[in-house]
Structure 1
Amino acid sequence: MSGASRCLLACSNFLTFLVSLPLMASVMITHFSSHTSCSHYLLHPLFVIGIVLFVVSILGMIGSCYRITFMLWFYQWLMFLLIFVLLCFTVLSVVEVHSGMRKGVSGESPRLQQFSDWLQMNVVDRQNWLGIKACLSETKICSSPEISPPARGLYRPIKNGCCKPPAHCGYKLKNGTVWTVPSSGLASRDHDCIMWSSEPNTLCYDCESCKAGVLSRIQEDWWRLSIIACCLIAFLVINFMVGCCAFRSSRAFDKYQRCGYKS
């Protein structure tokens, strides 16, 4: 039983090791080949996840193959911490997504007020928004030819909120992203209507509708990530249980050796 648990733990961590390598490699390649700050801003969390999986898998393989009890103990604690963090992220994702869906109105463009205060304060606050706005500008998301047709549906909330003035403002479309004020004046003088500019690097990037579009896109990503996180948690829980068996067998083996030496 002890040999089977150690072999199973080594194999499962080898799979985790294989997953972490291309993840870290893709992040590093994108980091050095990209000339925009947007990719760096988005890829840092992925790199951290890749490093954690790499370290955990190495500890699990070495500890199981060489019966190193302390390393297996450390592996178990790291695994427990990783499962706990993923659980917190999954619960937060589900709560935030559910909150936005509950407060949103079907058929309308998303509004900033429909999202939770936590998302507004921690995702699109003044400091973080500078980086997000730079990403939107550098990737030219408002230029339709720059985005492939399959991806346009994914970015529709952002394009609707950031690339054109809100419909209630009363702007008239001249061409492309150029909107003009009608002779009768704007229909509304709210914050978003005043902030709009036809300048390609400005557009409506400082509008609340743009922030709402970004948060709507983030919620969709969080929903997908929460599903992936649930699958990963199930895999890690199995690893954790197998690791417990391997840890107990390694500790029993150490105790047996000590007793043998005394005799």
Structure 2
Amino acid sequence: MAFRLSNNLIGILNAITFLLSIPILAAGIWLGHRADGTECERYLSAPVIALGVFLLVVSLAGLFGACCRVTWLLWVYLLAMFALIVVLFCFTVFAFVVTNRGAGEAVSDRGYKEYKLGDYSNWLQKRVENTKNWNRIRSCLQDSKVCKKLQDKQETFTQFMSSDLSPIESGCCKPPTSCNFTYVSGTNWTTIPTSSTDPDCNNWNNNNLCYDCQSCKAGVVATLKKDWKRVAIVCIVFLVFIIIVYSVGCCAFRNNRRDNAYQGGWKQGGGYA
């Protein structure tokens, strides 16, 4: 029996996915084995490799299952696709739930905002307050030199006040405004006795900056919130695409079963002729 459209379409889609999985897998291996790689890159390599392997295995199962009409391979493919749909749906809902709280607070006469960890969801707060997690995050921030731009700028205090700082720059690279420290440069402040009750005033250090401050953790969470919302939107689009592919795969699976049943019936009838 001739190939049906659904089988051909599944074969083409999985051939493309297979080709895409190779650079993803190679990138993950490269990140994990870079001689000068940062802690962030090594930490990121494991999920990238896992994604590459998953796409490679699933695409091969779908490709051979559809093109060679191997029913059990298509069954494995559909099972993996269904699991992916469930995981993507749960992650998308979860991402919107944990990012529905929290926003930067405007500061009088400042172009930037400041961030409080308590404004965000409890789940995100617990993740960054975990000592092991935060040590890894802080190492990533220091390796990536997120404060270097402020260090290199030679701005006056007036120029600095009007700067549009990112959440991490605002939380990690300068002391909180309530400390009333004396500005020298973007990451250099003269500490003075302060009546502020903010504990971050005691954590500020011109050498280590505010990487151990609650405001730095809040800046990281604010950045995660923004990135997660973007990822969640991409997941919705990808989820719709996966559901369409899954539906086509179900048609290909049904075609395989019909073809196998037809060939089995034909052979049996031929035997009795």
TM-score range, shorter chain: 0.7 to 0.9
The answer for the alignment partner of 2:52 in structure 1 is: 50
The answer for the alignment partner of 1:137 in structure 2 is: 142
Instruction: Report the TM-score, using the length of structure 1 for normalisation.
Output: 0.87
Q: How far does the alpha carbon of each residue in 1:164-214 deviate from its partner, in whole angstroms, 9 at most, with x for none? A: 1111012112335222223xx123243211111111xx2111111000100
The answer for the alignment partner of 1:260 in structure 2 is: 266
AA matched with 1:206: D
AA matched with 2:122: D
Change (3 A) 1:46 1:124: farther
Any idea what SS the aligned residue of 2:100 has? helix
Any idea what SS the aligned residue of 2:59 has? helix
The percent identity for this pair of structures is: 39
Aligned mate of 1:179, from 186, 189, 195: 189
Q: State the structure with bigger RCO (CA 8 A, min sep 6), 1 or 2.
A: 1
Aligned residues: 252
Query: In 1, are the aligned partners of 2:150 and 2:187 still within 8 Å (CA)?
Result: no
The answer for the alignment partner of 1:100 in structure 2 is: 102
Q: How far does the alpha carbon of each residue in 1:146-179 deviate from its partner, in whole angstroms, 9 at most, with x for none? A: 99xxxxx997110110011111012112335222
Change (3 A) 1:56 1:45: same
Change (3 A) 1:155 1:88: farther
Change (3 A) 1:3 1:154: farther
Q: In structure 1, what is the Cα distance between the partners aligned to 2:217 and 2:58?
A: 37
Query: In 1, are the aligned partners of 2:10 and 2:62 still within 8 Å (CA)?
Result: yes
AA matched with 2:144: T
Runs (5+) with no aligned partner, structure 2? 108-112, 153-162
Aligned mate of 2:222, from 209, 216, 220: 216
Query: In 2, are the aligned partners of 1:154 and 1:217 still within 8 Å (CA)?
Result: no
The answer for the alignment partner of 1:150 in structure 2 is: none
Query: In 2, are the aligned partners of 1:172 and 1:180 still within 8 Å (CA)?
Result: yes
Bigger Rg over Cα: 2
Q: How far does the alpha carbon of each residue in 1:54-97 deviate from its partner, in whole angstroms, 9 at most, with x for none? A: 22111110100111101100110100001111111111112222
Alignment of 1:6-21 (within 5 A): 6-21=7-22
Aligned mate of 1:116, from 96, 106, 121: 121
AA matched with 1:141: V
Following superposition, the deviation at residue 29 of structure 1 comes to: 2.4
The answer for the alignment partner of 2:80 in structure 1 is: 78
Q: Detail structure 1 runs of 4+ shifted over 3 Å in the superposition.
A: 104-108
Change (3 A) 1:89 1:155: farther
Change (3 A) 1:15 1:106: farther
Any idea what SS the aligned residue of 2:183 has? strand
